[in-house]
Structure 1
Amino acid sequence: MDAPGGSELFESYEQDFEAVKVSINERLTASGGQTGEIKKQTLRATDREIDEANEILQQMEMELLNLPQGSRTRLQARLRGYKADLDKLKQTLKRAQSTSRSTADRDELLGGGSGGIDLDAASMDQRTRLLNGTDRLAESSRRLQDSHKVALETETLGAGILSDLRGQREQIIHTRNTLLEADSNIDKASRTLKGMARR
């Protein structure tokens, strides 16, 4: 199931993260030329996408636990780079939010705006991505259950082998005792024959 560079699932998460990162950058760039409610809607949508990017990184961390050590070490370095990228985007968003925050903006936000259709589209897009994330979580859970099942089967097999070895050890000890007893009987018979020969 693993790709040559690591995990196919991990690489799928990487593609999702890159797509979300591009979208975040586009929104932040667009917000620089916006004002009022439109800018706030853009920044709110950006904030949701940053949360989504965080979830994707968490899925990557979970997927790393299923990988062999060699692949895990290599992919952990890439994951650290993605986290650094996301931290920079968070800082940029905070700066954009601080420049647009005011009492008038808050009143306008509570009063609603004309961008409901855009927010609905963003909500549907986010819902689709969350459903995809849920599917991936289910797949990861299934793989963990399979790994657990294999571990239990291996444990049962190991217990059976230990039981066989214990039985073989007991047989060897019994055979050894039998040989020692036979050796003792041969010594007695030898002494008896020698005594008879002398007489």
Structure 2
Amino acid sequence: MTSFDSYAKTLDSQINVVRKKFDSALYMNEELKMKQKDILERELEKVRTTFANMDKFARSQPDASVLIMKLQRYRHEIDQIEKDVSRIFPLENVNQTMQQTFETKKADQRTRLLEGHERIVETGNTLNQTHAVALETERIGETTLAELENQRRMIEGGITDIDKVDDEVDSIRSTLTSMGTRLFTDRGILIGIIVVLSLAIAFVIGWRWIRPLIEKKA
């Protein structure tokens, strides 16, 4: 099977589909018929595309004249189908469809505009809430800074008190050191006095024992 025959087989199949859908549309009410019209338009577009590809292929072949003659039958059949389709869909129906399409698009556009407006309002509310949160955060920040400042002052006051305590401890330490030195000196003096007194007492006692012996010898 050549490529032209393959195109022809595909085109025959597509034309048969269009014919069947056209025949079924004849017995439909207006609403279903308009829906069927959209389907027919899509199927006809497939037919036109296949025919255009088939025509392009035929003109590129050595036997183009023969193939183009075969294409005439398909062209005539496609033209007839398009006439039949336009016959069962009068102009007023087309206008009605266009009007319905316009109204639908208009409604969709209005819906999108309303949705856009709602999003803008929601965005504005969100911005207001964000601004309120920012103000509250700023207020909390200021309060926190004030508390930190008070704590800093308290810490600085505590450091000053600690310095004073350190000075007092140093003073007490110096006093205790001085008192310890003085106590050690006084203790040394007291021990010296005790030693001197002990020696004096021993001398006196010894002298009282030795003196009679000296006097006897004399």
**TM-score bin (small chain):** 0.3 to 0.5
* Higher relative contact order, chain-length normalized (CA < 8 Å, sep 6+): 1
* TM-score (structure 2 length as normaliser): 0.43
More helix by share: 2
